[in-house]
Amino acid sequence: MAHNLNFNNRTGKYSFFSVKEKAWHNLGQIVEDYPTSEEAIRFAGLDYEVEKSPLFTKSNAVIEKGDDIIMSDSALEVPNYFANIRTDNNTVLGVVGKDYQIVQNREAFSFFDAIVGGGDGILYETAGVLGNGERIFITAKLPDYIRVGNGDDITEKYIFLTTSHDGSGSITAALTPIRIVCQNTLNASLRNMSNVVRIRHTAGAKQRLEDAHKVMGLANTLSKELEKTFNHWSKITVGDDEMKKLIQLALCPNKETLNHLQKGNFDEVSTVFKNTVEDAFAYAMMSDTQQMETTKGTLFGAYNAVTGFYQNVKTYKNEEAKLQSIVMGGTAQMKSQKAFELCEKFAGFGADSILMN
């Protein structure tokens, strides 16, 4: 199952919903109106709970009965370890330690509702279940926008949350702006990923999850900073050669390639890298991006060339791989962060500064 979406045998549906737009191989439920928390949980097949159950292993006991020796199987409890079990179908989702704190799916939605006080301003866009139910994700739209230029180019503010029930990873929530003009995901991870909250599944996890919305209050501050930054970049003219150089450095895969770029030896780099750069540059030159004054020949346009390439041009193995790359700390997110840092350098110190390591 390449898409890795959970198929719920109880409902006969894939555990995913999306508002209006089809995604994930056209599987799951497409709804016309933004759902409430309760509706989103049901639409996405998230209406199950997880509980910790004692873990047992088989033990062979030797029993002497007269002259006979009998081997007897018995269950031996494993101390300090538990199985996380999905209660609606008894599927084991993973093995966890004694300090692991389960955060139920409904509690993840409570986190979102708490951000804007009761959920009046939260718009749930997507939610789903992966594998057997061991990982869930939610994307919600926040009120207000980031406006660039005259307001024709706007970026919506989203928060993405993912958590697991198998003992792997932490609860992660991140601010994810998405440019609605071309559905271009702009993962501008400002200032050491300060827009990301990570919460460990330990004894205080539920309390910290409830309090995380205070930290995510940074989203508004970060959005204002992004709006100021993007508007500044939209006024900085970038020539074609400079734009290509920015794209090359942002997409640079290793030190050897960087060495060639710094020395001006573009002919020495791999064909795969050359093609990637050309594809990203071609995206920047496309008529639908060029016709916007905020992107046409600007530093903001150079940044969007990188993020737009990963969102709209690059081919992925499946939707899960795309989600992982763009939102969950994968290559696209790292390269987008690199592009952001290079554009900051360019804006502050000029074209020559981007060649400095």
pLDDT of residue 328: 61
Q: What is the 8-class DSSP label of residue 298?
A: B
Residues 24 and 143: their CA atoms lie apart, in Å, by 25
The DSSP bridge pattern shows strands 123-130 and 135-148 to be antiparallel
Q: SS3 for 289?
A: helix
Residues 21 and 44: their CA atoms lie apart, in Å, by 15
Provide, for the chain, the percentages of residues in helix, strand and coil under a 3-state DSSP scheme, each rounded to the nearest 5. 40, 30, 30
Beginning with the edge strand found earlier in the chain, give each strand of the sheet holding 91-97 in spatial order.
50-65, 68-86, 91-97
Q: How far is CA 132 from the centre of its chain?
A: 20
Residues 139 and 34: their CA atoms lie apart, in Å, by 12
- The single residue listed with the structure tokens 């071309």 is 182
Taking only the tens of pLDDT, the chain with its 357 residues reads 345 778 888 888 888 777 876 555 566 778 888 898 889 899 999 999 999 999 988 776 666 666 665 656 677 888 999 999 999 999 999 999 988 989 899 988 887 776 655 555 678 888 888 889 998 988 888 777 777 776 666 667 777 788 899 988 788 777 766 544 333 333 343 333 445 677 788 767 677 666 666 656 656 666 777 788 888 888 888 888 888 888 888 888 888 888 888 888 888 888 888 998 888 888 887 755 555 666 778 888 888 888 888 877 888 776 667 766 766 667 877 888 888 888 888 887 776 666 554
pLDDT of residue 192: 38
With CA atoms as reference, report the closest residue to 164 among 202, 204, 135. 135
Give the Å distances, CA to CA, from 41 to 14, 48, 87, 105, 352: 13, 9, 16, 8, 51
pLDDT of residue 288: 58
Q: How far is CA 19 from the centre of its chain?
A: 18
- The single residue listed with the structure tokens 């060495």 is 259
Beta carbons of 19 and 31 less than 8 angstroms apart: yes
Supply the DSSP string of 166-196, one letter for each residue: SS-S-EEEEEEEEETTTTEE----HHHHTTE
